[in-house]
Structure 1
Amino acid sequence: MVWVFLLFLSVLKKCIENKMRVSPKCYQSIAKMLDFYSQFNPSPLSIKKFIDFGLNASEKKSFIFLRKELPVRLANIMKEIALLPENLLRMPSVIAVNDWYMRSFQEIIEFEKREPNDDTLEHFCSELVKIRNRHTNVVETMAQGVLELKESHDVDHHTEHSIQYFLDRFYMSRISIRMLINQHTLLFGGQLENAPGPNRSKYIGCIDTQCNIISVIKDAYENARFLCDQYYLASPDLIIEVSQHNQLEKEQNVNIVYVPSHLYHMLFELFKNSMRAVMEYHCEVDQYPAITITVAKGKEDICLKMSDRGGGIPRSTTDHLFKYMYSTAPQPSKSDAHTVPLAGYGYGLPISRLYARYFHGDLVLLSCEGHGTDAVIYMKALSNEANELLPIFNKTTSKFYRTAVPTGDWSNQAAHIGDRQISTKIKNHHLPQSCKESMTGAI
């Protein structure tokens, strides 16, 4: 299989770097370790569990948990990489990503049987920092790999469907792995000064126990506004409205236990999209309608609804906005990959939705063509209900990549059932003349 070949190349490279002789046992042992760890399901954590552990942080316990959990999460997604279309696996950027994951997997399993003494714990923390830095550009590099495929091969509907399915799971896995690494390095690596926000004492790792939603909204707006002013020489204003379930106990600030960087990422992406729509839809006038954000705090969810009057989005376009292989912006050149992350890749909205869904929230778009668009972010109000949503590798996963997209069973090409788009590649059948006459008479 292709993945075995890629695995061999990766191990070969590492062995050469270490000036070791390549032996069949070398790559066979790593393949066996992948098979072993992929048998286990990841252990999803809730925000409350992150908080409870952080309050009584034990570096030894964290080390023992992560040296098993990280290989499990890595192995689960690496087994899926092997199921990707062969043409995509041959792309240079995808080979690079696969190599990064292989090296990180190898480095983590080296701690499998080590004693958790001070030297081991210090070494483990430094290795996690190195792994995190190595994977900094995974999103852009994998996106570049998809572009390389599109430029060199015809991508059929089944291949596109498989890539969409994989990237949702791949990037969600990446979010979860970085969350675990960030928590450990911030708690035990002396990196708490890297946590965002002015009051770092309220942080437990990268989680803010008093995340001020209004403050994050304003921060994301100002940064998006700066870009908008640079490009359009103007920008729409912001209106914030607060609605709470219990008006008798109305809070001046709406706080939530959350990861501020995740919320900021979602809001910044939505602000950029809304500002672009407003500025281009009202380009012939000097006044631009404001963007309104409604913050609603309920018993189960905290919802942020961003409303603009940017002309809305046609339903035919809305269907494509969360697809990784679709973008309304020009594709970036390779020289722009590091200066303008994700610009033109079309990954902003899909990955923002993954951030929302990571702790069992969601991000949805509701648009009225000719008027504007509402984007709603849902977040769990209770930290014990905000559980990680993680991909699991199993037989069902393997079957998905091999199974062709089912033939459509609806006549309308735009037919939808819930969130499932129906494929309608059906043949036109000609009715006998007698049947036509009968139907005409009935109508």
Structure 2
Amino acid sequence: MKLNRVLLRQLKTIVEERLEFYSKFNPSPLSMQQFTDFGRNASNTDSFLFLRKELPVRLANIMKEFHLLPENLLHMPSVCAVRELYKQSFVDLLEYEKSKAGDSQTLDKFTEALVRIRNRHSDVVMTMARGMLELKEAHQVNANTEANVQYFLDRFYMNRISIRMLINQHTILFGEIPDVPNHIGCIDPHCDVVRVIEDAYSNARFLCDQYYLASPELKIRCHNEWEKFTFTVKEPGKEVEKQPISVVYVPSHLYHMLFELFKNSMRAVVEHHDDTSEDLPPLEVLLVMGQEDLTVKLSDQGGGIPRSQMDLLFNYMYSTAPQPTTSGGLDSPPLAGYGYGLPLSRLYARYFQGDLMLTSMEGYGTDAMIYLKALSSEAAELLPVYNKTCQRQYSTPVQTHDWSSQMHSAMFIRPFSTNSLKQLHVAQSKSLMASAAKREAAA
């Protein structure tokens, strides 16, 4: 037993030293073009040599940020579980630091290790979500803690997306997972955007019909600046005469974003028009291929969102819908979740230098915009880096607002009683009437 404890301490020391070592390196972002070129030309050995260094760097960068989180959050059971998962995956990768690159047995074991790591981290998103709920239930969350958690989760989930991207590329190209025809790993060099839109709409509509027994139709209009033409997809699923708009992209990432937006729009439209006998207004999608950007605009007439709630839409654990029950019964709407849909969708868009933005008109509807890079050479990974700037972010307190607000105004009103306020209003009215009388007399 004593020997085991000594070995465990030694192992912990070694892991901490390697973690400190790898965290000093910045991750190497790859562009979509580099991903495709690498997939076409690189060998299993090339991928192994790159990943056995790059994956520990990406893991170490985000693992060091855990230490910067508030202490009460670090002690939450779910957060502790996630930290242990990352530590185990980091240890698994350390085994291949000095392995022979040309050994086929080593390459096979490395691929198997990557599959285990991916499977081990499959529930990390919801585990971290439970950690946030545990924090809210156990402690009062102040503005500083909330800002730090929001900052960390954006970086943590972006790091997770990038690691899964690297693992998926390797396991599909060199593992036992069958490659999809005409794909390079999980990347489609000619991703048909209209088809992905239709797939996301169809699946979201299936859920909407199941729960609400109704769903809005879809209208798609396309404009290609490169080819100088515009056309409308009248019936989704049918072939169109014009050449489809395509881009080098990961179809699953685009589907994830669109599916989330369609779910939100359908739910809003059906619930907003629930008391009317009129047909549901359709969802309108405008797809535009420009010189630099590919833009997908989804417009609905679901009643819109108040401006007071717009800043909350990308906050983790905020949702406009009731939280689903853990049993997943009929009372929990399948079109709404725990509030992670929009924040994660925006991260998927930003991962390759795109973005996701919302504009809304309360009382009418909402426009959602997805921006993607049209050129694969410009679509480079956006990765979090652990450095002094990042450390300052966690230590800098949230600044007090320097403009007057309703809260500040209430501080001045609060000392007055209701009667005092009435007397003040009466006095102000008399003063205004007296001024008006003077002006009339002077005239």
TM bucket normalised to smaller: 0.7 to 0.9
Match of 1:88 among 56, 68, 73: 73
User: Is 2:292 the partner of 1:300?
Assistant: yes
Structure 1 stretches lacking a partner, 5+ long: 1-14, 194-199, 415-423, 430-439
Report the AA paired with residue 187 of structure 1.
Answer: L
User: Is 2:43 the partner of 1:63?
Assistant: no
**CA shift for structure 1 position 357:** 0.2
Hey, what does 1:403 align to over in structure 2? 396
Match of 2:312 among 314, 320, 327: 320
User: Is 2:101 the partner of 1:105?
Assistant: no
Report the AA paired with residue 74 of structure 1.
Answer: L
Report the AA paired with residue 290 of structure 1.
Answer: P
Hey, what does 1:132 align to over in structure 2? 118
Report the AA paired with residue 144 of structure 2.
Answer: H
User: Is 2:271 the partner of 1:285?
Assistant: no
Contact 1:80–1:393 (Cα < 8 Å) also in 2: yes
Report the AA paired with residue 119 of structure 1.
Answer: Q
User: Is 2:199 the partner of 1:215?
Assistant: no
Hey, what does 2:357 align to over in structure 1? 364
Report the AA paired with residue 156 of structure 2.
Answer: F
Aligned residues, how many? 402
Report the AA paired with residue 86 of structure 2.
Answer: Y
Contact 2:346–2:356 (Cα < 8 Å) also in 1: yes
Match of 2:384 among 391, 400, 412: 391
What pairs up with 1:22-33 in 2 under 5 angstroms?
22-33=7-18
**CA shift for structure 1 position 340:** 9.4
Hey, what does 2:129 align to over in structure 1? 143
User: Is 2:209 the partner of 1:234?
Assistant: no
Report the AA paired with residue 177 of structure 2.
Answer: Q
Hey, what does 1:419 align to over in structure 2? none
Query: 1-side partners of 2:42 and 2:362: how far apart?
Result: 51
Structure 1 residues 207 and 171, CA gap change in structure 2 (3 angstroms): same
Structure 1 residues 124 and 299, CA gap change in structure 2 (3 angstroms): same
Query: 1-side partners of 2:144 and 2:335: how far apart?
Result: 25
Structure 1 residues 136 and 318, CA gap change in structure 2 (3 angstroms): same
Hey, what does 1:331 align to over in structure 2? 323
Query: 2-side partners of 1:170 and 1:341: how far apart?
Result: 26
Report the AA paired with residue 285 of structure 2.
Answer: I
Contact 1:47–1:387 (Cα < 8 Å) also in 2: yes
What pairs up with 1:44-55 in 2 under 5 angstroms?
44-55=29-40
**CA shift for structure 1 position 50:** 0.3
**CA shift for structure 1 position 428:** 6.7
Contact 1:73–1:177 (Cα < 8 Å) also in 2: yes
Structure 1 residues 335 and 244, CA gap change in structure 2 (3 angstroms): same
Hey, what does 2:428 align to over in structure 1? none
Contact 1:239–1:293 (Cα < 8 Å) also in 2: yes
Hey, what does 1:417 align to over in structure 2? none
Structure 1 residues 316 and 187, CA gap change in structure 2 (3 angstroms): same
Query: 1-side partners of 2:48 and 2:229: how far apart?
Result: 42
Residue 399 of structure 2 aligns to a residue whose secondary structure is coil
Hey, what does 1:259 align to over in structure 2? 250
Structure 1 residues 426 and 105, CA gap change in structure 2 (3 angstroms): farther
User: Is 2:224 the partner of 1:244?
Assistant: yes
Contact 1:266–1:353 (Cα < 8 Å) also in 2: yes
**CA shift for structure 1 position 302:** 0.4
**CA shift for structure 1 position 160:** 0.5
Query: 2-side partners of 1:249 and 1:404: how far apart?
Result: 51
Report the AA paired with residue 322 of structure 1.
Answer: F
Query: 1-side partners of 2:115 and 2:409: how far apart?
Result: 49
Cα deviation 1:358-383 (Å, max 9, x = unaligned): 00000000101111000000000000
Query: 2-side partners of 1:119 and 1:332: how far apart?
Result: 46
Cα deviation 1:148-191 (Å, max 9, x = unaligned): 11111111111011000000000000000000000000000021
Residue 338 of structure 2 aligns to a residue whose secondary structure is coil
Structure 2 stretches lacking a partner, 5+ long: 231-241, 414-431, 436-443
Query: 2-side partners of 1:406 and 1:425: how far apart?
Result: 19
Hey, what does 1:175 align to over in structure 2? 161
Structure 1 residues 23 and 225, CA gap change in structure 2 (3 angstroms): closer
Q: How does the TM-score come out when normalised to structure 2?
A: 0.86
Query: 1-side partners of 2:121 and 2:409: how far apart?
Result: 40
Cα deviation 1:238-295 (Å, max 9, x = unaligned): 0000012145467431111100000000000000000000001000123100000000
**CA shift for structure 1 position 29:** 1.3
**CA shift for structure 1 position 137:** 0.4
Hey, what does 1:118 align to over in structure 2? 104
Q: Cα RMSD (Å) of the superposition?
A: 2.7
Cα deviation 1:10-37 (Å, max 9, x = unaligned): xxxxx99x97754432211111111110
Query: 2-side partners of 1:220 and 1:76: how far apart?
Result: 34
Contact 2:350–2:356 (Cα < 8 Å) also in 1: yes
Residue 181 of structure 2 aligns to a residue whose secondary structure is helix
Query: 2-side partners of 1:21 and 1:70: how far apart?
Result: 28
Contact 1:328–1:344 (Cα < 8 Å) also in 2: no
Structure 1 residues 276 and 133, CA gap change in structure 2 (3 angstroms): same
Q: How does the TM-score come out when normalised to structure 1?
A: 0.86
Structure 1 residues 412 and 186, CA gap change in structure 2 (3 angstroms): same
Hey, what does 1:196 align to over in structure 2? none
Query: 1-side partners of 2:221 and 2:367: how far apart?
Result: 14
Report the AA paired with residue 364 of structure 1.
Answer: M
**CA shift for structure 1 position 412:** 3.5
Cα deviation 1:113-158 (Å, max 9, x = unaligned): 0001101000000000000000000001000110111111111111
Point out the structure with max Rg over C-alpha: 2
Hey, what does 2:416 align to over in structure 1? none
Report the AA paired with residue 350 of structure 1.
Answer: P
Contact 1:296–1:303 (Cα < 8 Å) also in 2: yes
Query: 1-side partners of 2:146 and 2:349: how far apart?
Result: 23
Contact 2:305–2:366 (Cα < 8 Å) also in 1: yes
